[in-house]
Amino acid sequence: MIAPLILASVAVGCQDTDGNDNGKGPGAKSPDRSRTSQSPGGGAGHDDGKESARPSPRSSDRPAGGLTCDQLRNAELQNSELRLPDAPAGSISFTDGRWEGDGIVIELQPQCDIGDMTGDAAPDAVAPIKVTTEGTGRFYALVTWRNDAGTPVPAAAASLGDRTPVESVEISTAPPKQATVVYLTRGDADPAAVVTIRRTAVYRVAGPVMAELHHSDAPYTP
C-alpha cells in the first residue's frame, strides 16, 4: 500500500502551484482580446491625403455573433433607406474599403469600434468614411452599420465637414448607447486648408441620423 501512495503524491506535486495544470485545465483563463488597447491617432496635421492609419482604441477581433471592423471593407454603404452626406445617389458598396464612380472616390477610414448603437443588444459598427470629389473637397462622415444577423447594414450617418480627419471612435459599453468621436477641425474664421481644433463629440443614433449630443474643443497645432 505504501508504493501507490508515494506515486499519487508525486503526481500531485507535478501540477502547477496555481492548480490550472499548466494553463490547460479547467481553471485556465484565456486572455481577453476583445478590448485590446491601442493609442488613438496622434493628429493628422493639415489634410494632405495622408491621414493617420491608427485604429481606434479597441480591436476588431470580437466574439461570435458580433460584427467586426474588417467586415465593413466589403459592406454596403448606401441604399434606398440611407443617403450619405456628400455621396452621389444610388446604391454604394465597398470593395476592399473603396468605391469609385462619377469622379468621386469614397474610402473607409481605419478608425472603428464595435458596440450596440441601435438598442437591440446586437453589436453594431461605427466608422468614418472620406468622400473625395473632383475638386479640393475631402468630406468626412460618420456611419453606423447595424447588425443584421451578422451582416453590417448602413443605418445612420452624420457629416463631419470638409478636411476633418478622424482620430478615434469609441462606443460606450453601458447605456445610453453613444459613440465618442475625436476629429480635427477648425474655427469659423480659419482657412479651410488648416486644422486648429481637436474636437471630441458624442453621437447617438436617431433614425437615419447620427445626432451630435455635445462636443468639447481643444487647441490643435499641426
| pLDDT for the residue 3 | 43
Could you tell me the three cell numbers for 49? 491625403
Q: Is residue 187 part of a domain?
A: yes
Q: What is the DSSP string of 87-144?
A: PPSS-EE-BTTEEEETTEEEEE-S--EEE--SSSSS-EEEEEEEEE-SSS-EEEEEEE
Q: Is residue 48 part of a domain?
A: yes
Are 9 and 132 a contacting pair, CB within 8 Å? no
| pLDDT for the residue 1 | 42
Could you tell me the three cell numbers for 203? 453621437
Per-residue pLDDT of the chain (222 residues; tens, 9 = 90+): 444 433 334 333 434 434 344 433 434 333 343 333 333 333 333 444 444 444 444 434 444 468 999 999 999 999 999 999 889 999 999 999 999 998 999 999 999 999 999 999 899 999 999 999 988 889 999 999 999 999 999 999 999 999 999 999 999 988 889 999 999 999 999 998 899 999 999 999 999 999 999 999 999 998
Q: Is residue 54 part of a domain?
A: yes
Provide φ and ψ at 3, rounded to 5°.
Answer: -60, -45
Are 199 and 190 a contacting pair, CB within 8 Å? no
Q: Is residue 20 part of a domain?
A: no
Q: Is residue 143 part of a domain?
A: yes
Q: Is residue 35 part of a domain?
A: no
Q: Is 185 helix (H, G, I), strand (E, B) or coil?
A: strand
Q: Is residue 55 part of a domain?
A: yes
Q: Is residue 110 part of a domain?
A: yes
How many domains does the chain contain in total?
A: 1
Q: Supply the range of the domain harboring residue 188.
A: 41-219
Provide φ and ψ at 17, rounded to 5°.
Answer: -70, -20
Nearest-angstrom CA–CA distance, 69 and 62 = 9
| pLDDT for the residue 65 | 60
